[in-house]
Each structure stands twice: as structure tokens, then as C-alpha cells.
Chain A
Amino acid sequence: MKNIWTIARRDFRNYFTSPIAYIVIAGFLGIMGWMFFFNLAHFNEQNMQYQQYNMGKAISITDGIVRPLFGNMNVIFLFLIPFITMRLFAEEKKSQTIQLLMTSPVTLTDIIVGKFLSAFLLISVMLGMTLVYPVVLFATGNPDIGPIITSYIGTLLLASCLLSVGVLFSSMTENQIVAGALTFAGGLFLWLISWASQAAGPVWGDLLLYLSLINHYASFGLGILNTSDLIFYFSFIFSGLFLTHRVLESYRWR
């Protein structure tokens, strides 16, 4: 456990000693802020119209702001996570610093979990900074707290799945660009895989629907913690890290 923390601590700091963390966080918050403002303005306008024409019940903050906000956040993570994970192993392989890790008395699992944890901490920091939006919502309105909490859990898990894809691709190459591009392509593919489900027929269609990353997110947005979705995300993360272990192990044997 201590080994994992040693590795995670260095890699997490490494994000901040290079411009990566600042650029990723600034980009993330900039886009999120603009979207939040846009959602808020649109929501107010809509509500005003509802009241003006007495069209009945106005749409809730959850439906009008919270859910679109987290939906956008997920998409932004899809774009940003390749930049977060691409260096994790690729850079160490290129500069041969991986030899320090591989000849230290730590297990391969320590190394992989440590690196994953460093990236996980970074996205946790990014998510932590978005807590200002719920604060604004609570200060000015009366939102439902349940969907906000479950959306945070869901987004953290969805982003962690993308991280595990990124860690895996980073372990396969010593070229950071290749690792990043593969992570983006892989993430997007797993995101959109459900599109083909209708055309694929009943059995294959269900399978594709099940494998789709975003398909499992819906329940979180509604304020539900669905066990099967939680299991899917956790097993997805585990599979990504497990495959990374196999990849790195196979490199030792060459």
C-alpha cells in the first residue's frame, strides 16, 4: 500500500511540475464554466416563459441544469483523459526510467495501481473544483441533492473507465501521441458502440448495448445507484488494469 502511494505521489506531483495539469484543469473549468452559464441562462429563460404563459409545472433544476451539465462533463472527459494518461507509461518507457520501477522492490500491481491512482487524483481535483456549481444552485434555488451526488459518483466512475483504457494504451507504446490517440479512439468507440445495437440483431445488439460506457451512465443521472451499472464500471476498470499488467509482464519476457 505504501509503495502504491509512493508511486502515485510522484506521478501526481509530476502533473503539476509540468504544464499538463494546469492546461487540462484550465481547459476543463473554462469549458465547464461556459456551459454552466449557458445552461443557467437557458433554464431561466425557459422558466420565465413557462410562468408567463402559465404552462403548468416548470422543468426542474435536475432536468434543466444538472443532467445536461454532467452529460457535457462526461464528453469533456472523453477529450481530456487521453492527455492525462498518455504519458504514464509511454514516457517512462521512452526515457527508460521504467527500469527504476522495475528493479525496485515493488510489484507490477503496485506500479499500475499507483499510476492509475495519480490520474484518478487529478480528475478528482478537477471534479472537486466543479463543486462550485452545486453551491451556486443551492444558493439561488432548491435543487434535488440525490441526482447531484449520484452524478458525481457516475462521472467519477465513467472517467475512471476511460483512465483505465488510457493506462492500458500507455503501457503498450513508448510514443505518447500514439497512446493518446488510441485512448481517444478506444474511449469514443466504447462510448458509441451502442449505436450499432439496433442493426446488430437481438443477441449481439444486447451485448453492444451492455458494453457501451455511456449506456450505464443513465441511472446515475436519474439519481439511482444501480448495482449492475456499478459492477459494470468496476469490472471495466479492473479489466483495463489487469490487461495492463499482462502487457507489462509480457514485455519482461521479450
Chain B
Amino acid sequence: MIHVSHLTKMYGPRTAVNDLSFDIQKGEIVGFLGPNGAGKSTTMKILTGFMPATDGKVTVAGFDVFTQAIDVKRNVGYLPETPPVYLEMSVEDYLDYAARLHQVPSAQLKSSVSSALEKTDLGSVRSRLIGNLSKGYRQRVGLAQALVHNPQVLILDEPTVGLDPKQIIEIRELIKGLAGDHTVILSSHILPEVTATCQRIIVISKGRIVAEDTIERLTTRLNKGLIYSMTVRTPHPAGITLMRTLPGIASVTATGPKLVVEIQPGVSEVRDQIVSTAVNQGMGVLEFSAEKVSLEEIFLQLTTEENVPAQAGKKDGATV
């Protein structure tokens, strides 16, 4: 459905997107993940035909975005970072306008608008002016606008920004429900966003693809072994030494009553032994928990280089 090969975009001397290649099949939901300024929005703008590429070939729904831009635009629904809503129009009038712009036949205008209103749960505000709606509602109006002509491909640039938690869940469900009939690309710098909705993720950093896979496989690929953390009542050095000798344990680090136990990669279940050793040695277990290597850490590993302070990456993760 979407085919991108060697896509490059320069803003003057600055390279925003550098030799990007990927394919997206019909009915897939794919997440673009990357820190701010990684080139996600630029790539999306090129896919919609909004902006021409410096180099490379992009086809969407079988049409070349450069030579057949109008055909591409007819088959794409796009929600930009800022929802392109006219504040002085009512929700209904606005959607009617968006549908007309996308050449929805006159006979289907009414049904297209009401189905978009229904999908985004905007029925109750249909006759209100968009300017009087909250940011969350405006975002949903923007999403309704992308859906109104029932496009084959949906390109959503950070679709859940500004929504409250309940709305976020609703929008995620909505996007998931679109899979199959529609091909969806959504971008985010928020990880749970992507894990919750996408089947496949493409991690972009500095205009390049650094990883492209399903979420499970990415997690396994980069998993360096499980980590458990435990709090004990009295940390006996002898007990800790004994724990280190247990099979499958890579290391035990003790800072006061807090122990961090790292397991060798590939070892599956050693929790019973760890806890029983601690209890038998009279240390007294107060707390025991598993620290999974989260997607967030993978994301940081993939997108953070030595010369980039880790703090910059953390900041993105902190917005979760």
C-alpha cells in the first residue's frame, strides 16, 4: 500500500530525512517512533503529497506522490500535528467542507459526515463552533476530518496529543478498529501510544531508520536479560555472596537493603531460588519485583548516541 525507497529530504543544507526505505502492507497499523525532530512529520508530509522530496521514490495506494499527487491525496486522510480546523465554523459544516474538498459525491455527503461524527463520538457537539470546543475535541474534529472521505490510507501525526486519558483510550480503540480496511501510519514520541495501537514500529532517529520490527521481536532482540530488584530487612554479606553463586545469576548489586539481581540472558525462571536463598539466610524479604527492559529503554538505546546526553532522550519518555 505504501512503498518508500531511498527517500531523502533536505531543508537547505540540513538533512531532515536521510535515505529512508520501508514498505507498509494493506491493513497494517504502523507506528513511527522517534524523538522530537527525528523526521517523522517531514516523512508524513511527503507521504501526503504536501511536500516534495529531495530524492527517492514514494508510492501511496499505487500512485506516485510526486507525479500523481492528486490521486494520492484522494486516497489519503491526513491529520497534521496541529488539527487544521477553522475555529469560526461549526463541526458539521467543517466536516461537510472537508468531505467536499475530497470530492465525496453529493449524495453521500450527509452519510459521510454523520459516520465520521459517530466514529469520533462528536455527535453531541455537531452544531457547535469549533472555536468553542476544548483542545481534545478539536483534535477529534481533526481526526474526523481525516476519516470523512473514508480513505484507504490514514496518516496521523501524533493523534492523541492533548486528549484526556479516557479519550486517548477511545481514540486508540478507534484506530485499532480501522485496521484491516484502512492502512494507518501514526507517529508518536510517546511509547505506550505505539505499543497500544501498532502492529509494527519503525524507529526513526536523525532522519534514519534505526529499527523496524514488531514490538515483541524488538523487545526480545534488545533484551539483555531480566532484572529483579528486592528489598530485604537485613542484608547479610554471606547471603549475598551465596546468591551470586546461584545458577543463572549474572550479578547481584547491594546498596543498603536494596538488592538488584541481574539474570543471564536466556535464563527463564530463578525467582524461587533467589527468594528462598534470601529467606534461608535470614535476610527477610520485604519486597520483590521484576524490572522488565521496557520499550522505553530500547527506544533510548536505539536513538541515543554517546554524544547525545541521555537526558534529552529521557525527557521524551517522561511525557508519558
Contact = CB atoms under 8 A, between A and B. Distances in A.
A46 B103 CA distance: 60
Nearest to B142: A100
B50 A18 contact: no
Interface residues of B, number: 27
B49 A103 contact: yes
- What secondary structure prevails in chain B residues at the interface with A? loop
A96 B51 contact: no
A101 B70 CA distance: 12
Interface string B34-61: 0000000000000011111000000000
Given A6-B101, A97-B86, A98-B84, A105 B50 contact: no
Nearest to A7: B101
Interface string A143-185: 0000000000000000000000000000000000000000000
B88 A18 contact: yes
Given A3-B101, A252-B51, A107 B88 contact: no
Contacts of A253: 52
Contacts of B86: 10, 14, 95, 97
A99 interface: yes
Nearest to B51: A252
Residue with the greatest number of chain A CB neighbours at <10 A, chosen from B11, B76, B100: B100
Interface string A98-121: 111111111100000000000000
Nearest to A111: B101
A228 interface: no
Contacts of B84: 95-100
B74 A105 contact: yes
A6 B94 CA distance: 12
A97 B85 contact: yes
Contacts of B82: 95-96, 99
A227 interface: no
A103 B84 CA distance: 11
B4 to A, nearest CB: 17
A5 to B, nearest CB: 9
A254 interface: yes
Contact of B52 (A97, A98, A99, A252): A252
A136 to B, nearest CB: 37
B145 interface: yes
A54 interface: no
A17 interface: yes
B87 interface: yes
Contacts of A105: 70-71, 73-74, 101-103
A252 B51 CA distance: 5
A100 B101 contact: yes
Contacts of B228: none
Residue with the greatest number of chain B CB neighbours at <10 A, chosen from A17, A96, A104, A106: A104
Contacts of B145: 100
Interface in A117-153: none
A101 B89 contact: no
Given A95-B87, A96-B80, A96-B82, A101 B51 contact: no
B235 to A, nearest CB: 58
B78 interface: yes
Nearest to B88: A17
B134 to A, nearest CB: 17
Contact of B50 (A3, A7, A99): A99
Interface string B95-128: 0011011110000000000000000000000000
Nearest to A6: B100
Interface string B128-147: 00000000000000000100
Contacts of A100: 84, 98, 101, 145
Contacts of A18: 88
27 contacts: A3-B101, A6-B97, A6-B100, A14-B86, A14-B89, A17-B88, A17-B89, A18-B88, A95-B82, A95-B86, A96-B82, A96-B84, A97-B86, A99-B50, A99-B80, A100-B84, A100-B145, A102-B50, A103-B48, A103-B49, A103-B50, A103-B76, A103-B80, A105-B70, A105-B73, A105-B74, A105-B101
What 7 A-B pairs have minimum CB-CB distances, sorted nearest first? A100-B84, A104-B101, A105-B74, A105-B73, A6-B100, A97-B84, A96-B82
Given A97-B84, A97-B85, 12 more contacts: A7-B101, A95-B84, A96-B84, A99-B50, A100-B98, A100-B101, A101-B101, A103-B49, A103-B73, A103-B76, A104-B101, A107-B70
